[in-house]
């Protein structure tokens, strides 16, 4: 499942320190510096990649460590633990849903001020009216239960349930590494406010903060090696894959025919949809091949360990599949805003023909990767000169 690596690393660190006493004794002298190290590293990565949500999450976790460490025990604000147990997961779940607007921007500044203002307002109100806070937290929908059990505040339970549902739907909607890290931080940070097991609360929060920090690294890796529009590995991933292959391989350079005309006539939105449709078909390539986004409207199919003769049939099958799939052009004016009393018979949707041309080459003994790509490109050029929508071998 994409995006869960930061969560797994943070969770593994938590379990290791709790379940491995000898290991905890080895690293214990360094644990006091861990929160500052994680916070500094995470904020540096957030600044480097201009990501506001992970930076805010780390600051919220740092704030959450305060009541777990000393604020609630000192009694400076009544019911601080319960208030943090409500504000911390709520703020982190909101970050799951908010789009990324950057760290150094007006939007990022307004978000920071908004969260700070909300937290300050809640704690200020609680300091002036602790009796009202206790009355809200102690409210129960029923006076007694048929079984004897001690439950937390009903309001907190209801809030956690709602936040859990919102977090799950947010992950379903856009479950990238940042979103997974934020959702995990909301859960684990709330747990730490009540129970930190065998380690100090500050250490627990520091290890939870590893998730947003590592998510930034994974996100940067994804941006470098994967194409965001099509979801295919990018050109850098192709270059690394070629470097790892020592023996024989074949590759096909694929180009969408007349793609510039799609963009000029129907707009870039339609062009993007065409790119995604073609990428989806190429991603289903067989014969041990893998599809890459080479750049623009050009793609690459790489077949490690395969000869030219063994991949030509599969490459042509993909070409035919793209041609038969076509592309349905849906115009906005075809769907009225208000449902008419007598719906008109729908017009036939316009089906656009999408085809691809391909040039295939097999690596010769001792041949460099750029030479193989060059020969495949030359074969692709001949396919276009011959009328497009065909496969030509080098």
Q: Alpha helix (H) ranges present in the chain? A: 5-19, 21-27, 34-49, 52-66, 72-74, 80-97, 106-128, 130-137, 154-173, 177-194, 201-225, 235-244, 259-266, 268-283, 308-325, 369-385
**Residues classed as catalytic:** 297
* Torsion-angle region of 20 (φ positive above 0: left; ψ -120 to 50: alpha; else: beta): beta
Which pairing describes strands 290-295 and 249-256: parallel, antiparallel, or unpaired? unpaired
For residues 88 and 122, what is the distance between their CA atoms, to the nearest angstrom? 12
For residues 302 and 252, what is the distance between their CA atoms, to the nearest angstrom? 7
Residue by residue, DSSP assigns 54-90 as HHHHHHHHHHHHHIIIIIHHHTSSTTHHHHHHHHHHH
Backbone angles phi, psi at 365, to 5 degrees: -60, 125
Residues in the chain: 394
300's tokens: 């690459």
For residues 154 and 354, what is the distance between their CA atoms, to the nearest angstrom? 58
179's tokens: 């979103």
* Torsion-angle region of 79 (φ positive above 0: left; ψ -120 to 50: alpha; else: beta): left
For residues 323 and 257, what is the distance between their CA atoms, to the nearest angstrom? 11
The answer to whether the CB of 165 falls within 8 A of the CB of 113 is: no
- Counting Cβ atoms within 10 Å, is residue 112 exposed (0-12), middle (13-18) or buried (19+)? middle
Minimal CA–CA distance to 383: which of 303, 325, 298? Answer: 298
């Amino acid at each position: 499942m994409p995006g869960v690596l930061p969560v797994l690393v943070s969770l593994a660190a938590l379990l290791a320190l709790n379940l491995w006493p000898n290991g905890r004794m080895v690293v214990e002298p360094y644990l006091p510096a861990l929160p500052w190290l994680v916070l500094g590293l995470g904020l540096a990565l957030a600044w480097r990649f201009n990501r506001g949500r992970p930076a805010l999450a780390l600051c919220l976790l740092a704030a959450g460590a305060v009541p777990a460490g000393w604020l609630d025990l000192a009694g400076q604000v009544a019911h601080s633990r319960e208030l943090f147990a409500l504000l911390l997961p709520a703020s982190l779940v909101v970050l799951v849903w908010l789009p990324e607007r950057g760290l150094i921007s007006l939007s990022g500044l307004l978000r920071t001020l908004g969260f700070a203002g909300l937290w300050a307002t809640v704690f200020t109100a609680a300091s002036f009216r602790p009796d009202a806070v206790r009355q809200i937290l102690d409210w129960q929908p029923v006076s007694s239960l048929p079984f004897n059990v001690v439950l937390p505040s009903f309001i907190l339970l209801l809030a956690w349930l709602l936040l859990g549902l919102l977090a799950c739907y947010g992950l379903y909607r856009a479950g990238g590494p940042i979103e997974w890290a934020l959702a995990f931080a909301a859960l684990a940070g709330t747990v730490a406010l009540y129970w930190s097991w065998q380690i100090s609360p500050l250490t627990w929060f520091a290890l939870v903060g590893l998730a947003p920090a590592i998510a930034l690294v994974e996100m940067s890796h994804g941006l470098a090696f994967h194409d965001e529009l099509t979801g295919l590995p990018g050109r850098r991933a192709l270059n690394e894959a070629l470097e790892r292959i020592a023996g024989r391989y074949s590759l096909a350079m694929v180009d969408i025919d007349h793609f510039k005309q799609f963009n000029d006539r129907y707009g870039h939105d339609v062009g993007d949809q065409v790119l995604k449709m073609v990428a989806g078909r190429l991603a289903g390539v067989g014969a041990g091949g893998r599809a890459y986004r080479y750049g623009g409207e050009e793609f690459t199919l790489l077949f490690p360990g395969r000869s030219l003769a063994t991949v030509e049939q599969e490459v042509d099958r993909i070409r035919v599949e793209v041609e038969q799939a076509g592309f349905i052009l849906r115009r906005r004016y075809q769907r009225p805003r208000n449902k008419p009393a007598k719906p008109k018979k729908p017009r036939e949707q316009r089906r656009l023909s999408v085809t691809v041309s391909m040039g295939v080459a097999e690596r010769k003994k001792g041949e460099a990767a750029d030479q193989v790509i060059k020969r495949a490109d030359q074969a692709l050029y001949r396919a276009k000169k011959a009328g497009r929508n065909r496969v030509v071998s080098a």
